[in-house]
């Protein structure tokens, strides 16, 4: 007998806020299937407040967040969602008024937001279905690039051997001074080289909206990797275009057209430091991990 459950995840990031609604198809003779039903993304850049504006989320963005949560609640009702979870990451956990914002949103909308730490974020992300990729003796460095932080998880022989969150997100990099970014990249380089030095045939697994966009632009078939050479060529191509041209000629969203540059640099750097020559893009992330966590915790 077939049973279909509906779960939703709200991901409150530093560059945007997303609502993912998924169908979980359950039958007796096979593993549950997680099928995306709807994905809504709203460009509320909290990181521009927190990483620049003295760590304070502005009144304007608080109002926009309240409106977004009200809209998400209506969409979840229409879809018949039975359970949801809202998680906020780097920008909210660093905001000096983060707690007050979550309390205001709960009071006005009834949506409870969990502000999660970097380690918990990495754990949720790594719970996503990577089995098809990480099986066998190969090693993989999973890189999830967000607006405020990047989560790195290293897999070898199907097991997690190390995981770490760094304050190296795309919005943060745009806001920081060059000297600060140089130091951050140096710390990440040290961690990656230390943790991959004894591994052979490391490949990257990339997640996040920017690498998904680059993968779509590549025209690659689903499941096929992007090479280091291709990604580097795309980086140079994008970097040499103006912000306006990235929007008008490549049809990038305005809040994607700037952050795609530092995001691509992070993936390229991780490939260089780990010796990876290819990157897989399975289109999974925090929202998918939240959905899985909701389902398995409900059993």
Domains of the chain, with CATH numbers? Answer: 3-117 (3.30.420.40), 130-283 (3.30.420.150)
State the residue for tokens 């969409």. Answer: 75
- pLDDT of the residue at 126: 67
**Tens digit of each residue's pLDDT (9 = 90 or more) over 151-164:** 898 988 878 889 88
Pick the closest to residue 127 from 137, 119, 138, 139 (CA basis). 119
**Tens digit of each residue's pLDDT (9 = 90 or more) over 103-118:** 999 999 999 999 998 7
From the number of C-beta atoms within 10 Å of its C-beta (0-12, 13-18, 19+), residue 19 rates as buried
Whole-Å CA distances, 65 to 85, 225, 248: 16, 36, 28
* pLDDT of 291 over the 70 cut: yes
Contacts of 220 (CB under 8 A, 6+ apart): 226
Pick the residue with more confidence: 161 or 8?
A: 8
Displacement of CA 45 from its chain's centroid (Å): 14
Q: What is the number of other CB atoms lying within 10 angstroms of the CB of residue 40?
A: 14
Q: Across residues 20-48, what is the average pLDDT?
A: 92
Q: How far is residue 199's CA from residue 149's CA, in Å, rounded to a whole number? A: 25
Q: Across residues 234-262, what is the average pLDDT?
A: 96
Q: What is the number of other CB atoms lying within 10 angstroms of the CB of residue 236?
A: 11
pTM over the 0.85 mark: yes
Q: Across residues 262-286, what is the average pLDDT?
A: 94
* pLDDT of 6 over the 70 cut: yes
Q: What is the number of other CB atoms lying within 10 angstroms of the CB of residue 219?
A: 7
Lowest mean pLDDT among 101-110, 129-138, 250-259, 270-279: 129-138
């Amino acid at each position: 007998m077939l049973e279909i459950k509906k779960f939703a995840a709200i991901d409150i990031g530093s560059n945007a806020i997303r609502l993912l609604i998924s169908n979980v198809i359950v039958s007796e003779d096979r593993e549950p299937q997680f099928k995306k039903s709807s994905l809504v993304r709203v460009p509320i850049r909290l990181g521009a407040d927190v990483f620049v504006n003295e760590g304070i989320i502005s009144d304007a963005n608080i109002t926009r967040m309240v409106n977004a949560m009200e809209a998400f609640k209506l969409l979840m009702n229409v879809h018949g969602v039975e359970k949801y979870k809202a998680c906020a990451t780097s920008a909210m956990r660093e905001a000096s008024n983060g707690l007050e914002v979550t309390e205001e949103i709960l009071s006005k909308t009834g949506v409870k937001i969990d502000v999660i730490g970097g380690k918990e974020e990495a754990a949720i992300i790594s719970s996503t279905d990577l089995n098809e990729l990480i099986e066998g003796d190969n090693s993989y460095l999973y890189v999830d690039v967000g607006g405020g932080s990047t989560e790195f998880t290293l897999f070898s022989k199907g097991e997690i051997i190390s995981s770490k969150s760094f304050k190296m997100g795309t919005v943060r990099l745009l806001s920081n001074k060059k000297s600060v970014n140089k130091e951050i990249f140096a710390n990440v380089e040290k961690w990656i080289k230390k943790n991959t030095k004894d591994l052979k045939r490391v490949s990257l697994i990339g997640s996040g909206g920017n690498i998904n966009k680059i993968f779509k632009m590549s025209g690659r078939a689903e499941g096929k990797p992007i090479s280091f050479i291709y990604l580097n060529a795309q980086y140079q191509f994008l970097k040499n275009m103006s912000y306006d041209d990235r929007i008008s000629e490549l049809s990038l969203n305005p809040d994607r057209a700037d952050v795609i540059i530092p995001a691509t640099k992070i993936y390229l750097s991780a490939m260089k430091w780990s010796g990876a020559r290819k990157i897989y893009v399975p289109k999974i992330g925090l929202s998918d991990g939240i959905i899985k966590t909701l389902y398995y915790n409900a059993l």
